Amino acid sequence: MDRSDITYRYRSDTDLNYWIGYRRKIKNVIRSIKYHESSSQNLRHAVTHLRTLARRSSMHHVIERLWHAGPVGGLDSIWSFASNPAFHLRQSYPERSKASVMKRGLQGNEQEDGGGTSGGCQKTLKRSRKQRREKDLEDEEVRWECLPQEILLHVFQYLPLLDRAFASQVCRGWNEAFHMPELWRCFEFELNQPASSYLKATHPDLIKQIIKRHSDHLQYVSFKVDSSRESAEAACDILSQLVNCSLKTLGLISTARPSFMEMPKSHFISALTVVFVNSKSLSSLKIDDTPVDDPSLKVLVANNSDTLKLLKMSSCPHVSPAGILCVADQCHGLRELALNYHLLSDELLIALSSEKHVHLEHLRIDVVSENPGQQFHTIKKSSWDAMKRHSPKFNLVMYFYLYEDEFGPFFRDEIPVTHLYFGRSVSKDVLGRVGLNCPRLVELVVCANGLRPLDEELIRIAQRCTQLSAIGLGECEVSCSAFVEFVKMCGDRLTQLSIMEEVLVPDHRYGLDDIHWEVSKHLGRVWFPDMMPTW
Amino acid sequence: MVVNSVHWFRKCLRLHDNPALQEALNGADAVRCVYILDPFFAGAANVGINRWRFLLEALEDLDSSLKKLNSRLFVVRGQPTDVFPRLFKEWNVTRLTFEYDPEPYGKERDGAIIKLAQEFGVETIVRNSHTLYNLDRIIEMNNNSPPLTFKRFQTIVSRLELPRRPLPPITQQQMDKCHTKIEDNHDQLYSIPSLEELGFRTDGLPLAVWHGGESQALDRLGKHLDKKVWVTSLEHSRVKTCSLYASPTGLSPYLRFGCLSCRVLYYNLRELYMKVRKRCTPPLSLFGQLLWREFFYTAATNNPNFDRMDGNPICVQIPWDQNPEALAKWAEGRTGFPWIDAIMTQLRQEGWIHHLARHAVACFLTRGDLWISWESGMKVFEEMLLDADWSVNAGSWMWLSCSAFFQQFFHCYCPVGFGRRTDPTGDYIRHYIPILKDYPNRYIYEPWNAPESLQKAANCVVGVDYPKPMINHAESSRLNIERMKQVYQQLSHYRGLSLLASVPTIQEEAEPPMTDESQTSSGPDSPQRVPANTEEDVCYEAPDSSTVCPSSTSAPHPDQEYQAPCISSGCHTDPSHPPSLSSIQRHSPPLKSKPCSPSSSCSSQSSSLGTKRKGLSRKVRRGQRQRGRQYCTLTAREEATGQEETMEEDMEQEEERMEEEEETCAETAGQLE
C-alpha cells in the first residue's frame, strides 16, 4: 500500500528493505527471549540473530528508527548521550513512551487506511509515517524494556562497541547495561595517527571515559600502535593512568614499526611498572620490541610471580640473560616464553626444567644477526635434553635471520626444535644438518637457498624427521623427481606444502605440467605449486 | 538511409582484429576514426612522459596507416561527454562504434556516452576485443563471482570455448566504400599533439627504448614467435640475465595499448605450438601472461574499489605504514640496495622492467621491507610503467603484497640474494647505476659490506657517493613476518604455531583440476578443424558481449547487482557487500580424511582449535565459544585481542547464510504488511 511515504524518508529501497527485515526479525527475537527465557537453545538462537544484525552495523538503524530517536551523529554525540544518562533519559524517552502509549490507544487501526493515499503532501506524509511507526511498535515496545539485565548483558557481549553505544541510548535499562563491568573487561586500544596510518584510532573521548569509569574493570587489555612515536607515547600515557586496575593480560603490539623503541626508555618503563605494581595477577604479557629492562622485569616478578604464564619479549635489547633468568627462576607457572637467542642460556633451560617448574608448552627463539659475521654462543645438548625430559611435549619454535656464514654453532648436536623458519638464505650444509639433528621437526620453512638443488637434503629430512607435516620452500631449487620422492616418503602427513613454482626444476621424469598430478596422488588431495603472476 | 560512422579509438589502437572498427565500416557511407584526449587533463594526470610518448607514437602510427587507406585519424581535444554532442551534429553521425571496456571506470564512461548517443539518435555498437574471453561469462560460470585463485580461473577458462578468432586488418577496399573527404585544415584541427602541447618538457629527454604503434607491435610479434621456436622448452623458459633488459621481442606495452590484439597473440602461439609439437593441444601454461592479464581483468571488472584497500571486498586490511620519505627513496631508486635501485632506475628511464624485477621491488616496498601500502607502489607504477593496466597493475600489487588471492607470505624476495641469484655478475646493476661499476662481483649487491679501502678504490664510498641501505633487511623481514602473521591469523582464525597454516586457502581450489579431457573437450579445438573456424566467427560473436545497444538503459554490462566475495578482516563489514568468508578454509579439503597435525597435539585445547575446520559440527564450536567466554589466559593460541570475535566468526558465517535466507522471506513478508 503506502510505500511512497516510507521511501520518501528512507533514501533508497535497500535501506527500506533492511529496515523492514530487521524490524521483523528483532520482533521474533524478542518474542523468543520473552517466551523461552529458560531455554538456553532459543536464547542462543536469539542472540545469534541479534549478533548478526549487529555485525552488519544496522542495529543502530533499527533502534534509531524504532524509537524515532532523531539523527544519529558521530561517536561524540553518542558519548555525550552516554555520559549524561540522567539528562538524556528524562528529557526524551519517558515522554515519548507515554505519548506513544496514548496515541496507540487512540488511533488504533485508523492509519492503516489513511496513510496510503496521501500523495505528495508533506504534512500528511509526516504524520502517517509517525502513526505507522507507532503502530508497528506497539507489539514489541514493552518487551524491549522488559529484557532482564543478564540477557541484555549476554546480547551486548556480542555487539561491537559502537552498536552498544547506540543501543545505550534506547532506555535507562540499556544504558545501565552498557556500563556493566562485564562488558569492560576486555578492551583493545587502537592508537594511530592520521599521518602514519590508514586505520582508524580509538576515539580520545572513549579513552577518557574508560579511564574514568571503567579502568577498574579492565582485565584483558591490548594496545595496537602504528609506527609513530606519538602513538606509543599515548599508549604509555594510558598505561600510567591504570592505577586502580588489575590486569590479567597486557599486550603491547606495534602494527607497523617498533614504535615503543623510539620513545624515551624511562617513560616506557615507568608506565609499564605502574601495571606491574598494581596488577598482582598478571598472567600474560606480550611486550615484543619494547625497551623493557632488567629492573622492570624484577618488579614484574616481585608482584606477579605466582600468576605469570606467558611472556613474549622477542627483540627487547635492554634485557640481559640474567634478567630473563630471574623471571624463569621465580615464575614457576611460566608455560610460554618468546625471546631472542642472545637471552637463551644453558642456565635458563635448566631453570625452566627444574622440578618446581610446570611443563613448558612453547618456547620461541628468534635468532637475529645484528651485524654480519656475528659469533653466536652454543647451547649444550645436555640442557636441551633436560628440557625435553621435563616437558616432553614442548614446542620449540626457531626463526633464523642470519647470514649464511653465521650458522656455525647451530644444528651441530641434536636439538628438539619443532618449527623452523629460515628467513634468509641458508646453505645446503645447514639443511643437511637439520636433517640429521632435528628429529622432532614438524614444520620447515626455507625462504632462500643457493642455486644448487636441495635434493639429498630434502630426502634426508623426509627420512629422519618423521613428524614433519608442513614445509615451505621459497627461492630454492629442487629437482622434480627428488621432490616427488620427498612427498612420497612423507605421504599424507604433509598437511601444508607450499612450494614456489620456480623451485621445481623439471627433469627427465617429470615436467611442470604433470608434477602436480604426481604430488597430488601421494598427498591424497589436490595440490598445485604456488605461483606468482607473470606481469 | 545515409550511414555516417564514427569509430572511437581508446584502448585498441590498431587496424587488425578490431571488430568494432569493422562494424563502423560495415555498410557505412562515411567513416571517421577519432581519438579523444584532453591536453589540459593530460599534464595533470598521473601518467609519466614515457607513457605519453608511447601513446602519441601509437596514434602517429595509426594515423599513417589510415593515410595509406586514404583516411586520417581525428584527434579531438576535450572530454568525451563534451566532444560527442558537437561531433554528432557537425558530422551528422548515425553510428558510433568502440570496443568494450571492462574496467569499472570505463564502463561508467561508456554508459554515459551510450545514453548521450541515444539522445542524439545515434546507434551504438560495442564489441569485445581487449580481452580474450567475455569476462562476464567467466564470472557467471564461477557462480557469479570472479574466481579468486588463478587455478580456479584456469579451470573455468579450460571449459570455455576458444576465444573468438581474430579478424583481418581493414582493407583499402573496405575503406574506399565509405571514403570521407579530408578537409584541408585537418592538420590544424585534428592533429596529434606533441609532448610539449601536453605540458611536458622535452629538452634532454633520452631516446625511447619502446616505440609505440601497431606496426612496431606486429614486427615484434614476428620476432617474438621466431624466438619461441628456438627456445627448447616452449612452456618454461627460466630467467636469463639478458631478460632483465628491455627485449626487442617484448610485447606487454603493446597489449596494454591494444597495438597488438591479445587474440592474435593467442592464436599465433597456439598454432606455433601445434606446429612444433605435432598437433597436440597446447597447455594453458603456454598463454601464461595473457591469462594472468585476463584473470585480473575478471577480478576487477565489477569492483570499482579494486585499486584501493579501503572498501575493497577482496583486499585484506593490513596496517601499512605511511612514510612519504621512504616511499620517495624507493620510487627514486635511493634505497641503498643496488638491486632495487637499478630496477627503479630502469623503470623510470625506459618504462619497462622484467616481471621478476617487479616482484622484487613490489615485495621490498610492501610486506618484505618497507611495510608501505601497495597503493602507493601501484601509483608509481601507473605513472612510469608502459604496460600498467588499471586492473593488472592493482591486481598484481595486491598479489605481491599478499593483500588478496590468499598467498603464502613467507615468500619474501631478499633485496640482495634474489638479485644475485638472477644476475650473479651484477652487470645489470653496473648498467643502471654506473657509479657502482668498479665494484667487484662479490660486493656489487651489498656495497656497504665492502671494506673501506675497496670502496675508495672503486670511487664510490657508501654513505657519500651512494646511499647506505635505508633499512636492515634481516630486522625488517623479522618484523614484517610477524605483522603478516598477525593479520592472517585473524583472517583464518588460526592460533597454532605453524606459519604456513595461518594463510587461509580458498574453497574454490578444491574443484577438481582440469583434466586433459576437459581441455580437449573445451571447444572445437582439433587442428583439422582450424580452417573451418573462420566461418564460426559469427557464432563466436554471440556469447561475446557484442551488443548493439538500442535502449537507453542498457550500458554494455549493467552491474547493479555487484556481489564480489568479501574478505574484510575484523568489523569493516559493509552491509551492501554480503561477506562470504564462508568459502575460506584453512586447509584444502582432503580427498580422504586426515588425522590432525602433530603440531597441535600437545595440548588439548590447542588441538581442538588448531585443527578446527569448517566441517566440524557447530556443537563443537559452541562448546569452544563457551569456554572462550571464561576469558582464559592469553596464550599463543588466543591473543587478548578480540578472541571472542575470532572464535565466533566460523559459526557466524554459517548462520549468516541461514540468516540471509530468512531475511528474504522476512522482507517479502514485511512488504506485505
Q: Is the pLDDT of residue B214 over 70?
A: yes
Q: Which of B413, B498, B669 sits opposite A24 (nearest CB)?
A: B669
Option in A21, A197, A256 nearest B670 (CB) = A21
The per-residue pLDDT for range A75-89, each reduced to its tens digit, is 333 333 333 333 233
Which residue does chain A place closest to B629, by CA atoms? A157
Residue B86: inside a domain: yes
Q: Is B292 annotated as a binding-site member?
A: yes
Evaluate if residue B615 carries a pLDDT over 60.
Answer: no
DSSP annotation of A284: E
Q: How far is B278 from chain A (nearest CA, A)?
A: 18
B662: pLDDT confidence band, cut at 50, 70 and 90? very low
Indicate yes or no: CB of A258 within 8 angstroms of CB of B479.
yes
Nearest to B421 among A309, A451, A527 (CB): A451
pLDDT digits (tens, 9 = 90+) for A380-393: 999 999 999 999 99
Residue B507 maps to a domain: no
Position A143 confidence tier, pLDDT thresholds 50, 70, 90:
very low
Range of the domain at B15: 1-129
pLDDT at A20 over 50: no
**b/e map A512-521, b = 16+ CB within 10 Å:** beebbebbbe
Q: Is the pLDDT of residue B111 over 60?
A: yes
Q: Give B649's pLDDT tier (boundaries 50, 70, 90).
A: very low
Q: Which of residues 483-512 of B touch A (CB under 8 A)?
A: 483, 486, 497-501, 509-510, 512
Residue type, B412: C
For the segment B546-591, what is each residue's pLDDT rounded down to a tens digit? 333 333 333 333 333 323 333 333 333 333 333 333 334 333 333 3
On average, the pLDDT of chain A sits at: 77
Better-predicted residue by pLDDT, B318 or B496: B318
B479 touches chain A (CB under 8 A): yes
Say if B185 falls within a structural domain: no
Domains identified in chain B, total number? 2
Query: Is B563 touching A (CB cutoff 8 A)?
Result: no
Last residue of a domain, which of B446, B479, B512? B479
d(CA A179, CA A160): 14
ipTM over 0.85: no
Binding site annotation covers B189? no
Residue B30: inside a domain, yes or no? yes
pLDDT at A258 over 50: yes
Residue B63 lies in a domain: yes
Residue A373 is predicted with a pLDDT of 75
B325 is annotated as contributing to ligand binding? no
Residue B445 grid coordinates: 649487491
Q: How confident is the model at residue B431, as a pLDDT?
A: 95
Q: How far is A505 from chain B (nearest CA, A)?
A: 10
DSSP A144-196: HHH--HHHHHHHHHHS-HHHHHHHTTS-HHHHHHHT-GGGGSEEEEEE--TTT
> Residue B412 domain-assigned?
yes
A385 neighbors A417 (Cβ within 8 angstroms): no
pLDDT of the residue at B500: 87
Is B387 flagged in the annotation as binding?
yes
pLDDT tens per residue across span B246-293:
888 889 999 999 999 999 999 998 888 888 777 677 777 778 889 999
Q: Please answer whether residues A367 and A402 qualify as being in contact, where contact means their C-beta atoms are separated by less than 8 angstroms.
A: yes
- pLDDT for the residue A146: 57
B411 contacts in chain A (CB < 8 Å): 447, 474-475, 500, 530, 532
pLDDT higher at B517 or A326: A326
Residue at a domain's end among B86, B101, B129? B129
Cβ <8 Å between B474 and A467: no
Give the span between the Cα atoms of B285 and B658, in whole angstroms.
40
Counting every residue, how long is chain B? Answer: 673
Boundary residue ending a domain (B129, B151, B174): B129
Check CB contact under 8 Å for B418 and A475.
Answer: yes
Which pLDDT tens digit goes with each residue over B292-301? 999 999 999 9
For position B345, which CATH number holds? Answer: 1.10.579.10
Is B571 in contact with B583 (CB distance < 8 Å)?
A: no
Q: What is the pLDDT of residue A277?
A: 92
In a domain, B177, yes or no: no
Residue A33 pLDDT exceeds 80: no
- Nearest by CB to B396, from A48, A192, A533: name it: A533
- List the single residue in A with minimal CA-CA distance to B515: A517
Whether the predicted pLDDT of A357 surpasses 80:
yes
Report the first-to-last Cα separation within chain B, whole angstroms.
55
Q: Which range among A216-225, B197-206, B451-460 shows the weakest confidence by mean pLDDT?
A: B197-206
**Is B109 a known ligand-binding residue?**
no
pLDDT digits (tens, 9 = 90+) for B428-474: 999 999 999 999 999 999 999 999 999 999 999 999 999 999 999 98
The residue of chain A nearest to residue B324, with distances taken between CA atoms, is A196
Mean pLDDT of all residues belonging to chain B? 76
- Measured in angstroms, the CA of B598 and the nearest CA of chain A are apart by 7
In CATH, what number is assigned to the domain containing residue B101? 3.40.50.620
Do the Cβ atoms of A158 and A47 come closer than 8 Å? Answer: yes
Q: How many CB pairs below 8 Å do chains A and B form together?
A: 301
Among A211, A154, A207, A218, smallest CA distance to A184 is for A218
* Per-residue pLDDT band at B339 (split at 50, 70, 90): very high
Averaged pLDDT, A181-208? 90
Lowest-confidence region among A95-109, A300-314, B378-392: A95-109
Q: What is the mean pLDDT of residues B487-508?
A: 79
When CB atoms are compared, the residue of A393, A443, A512 closest to B498 is A443
Q: Is B311 on the interface with A (CB under 8 A)?
A: no
Asked if B652's CB is within 8 angstroms of A198's CB, the reply is no
Which residue of A5, A495, A530 to mutate against B (max B Cβ within 10 Å)? Answer: A495
Per the CB < 8 A criterion, the answer to whether A171 and A145 are in contact is yes
Rounded-to-integer distance, Cα A57 and Cα A59, Å: 5
Q: Are B358 and B289 in contact (CB under 8 A)?
A: no
A47 pLDDT band, cuts 50/70/90, is: low
Please check whether residue B365 lies inside any domain of the structure: yes
Taking only the tens place, the pLDDT of each residue in A338-348 is 999 999 999 99
A408 vs A24: which has the higher pLDDT? A408
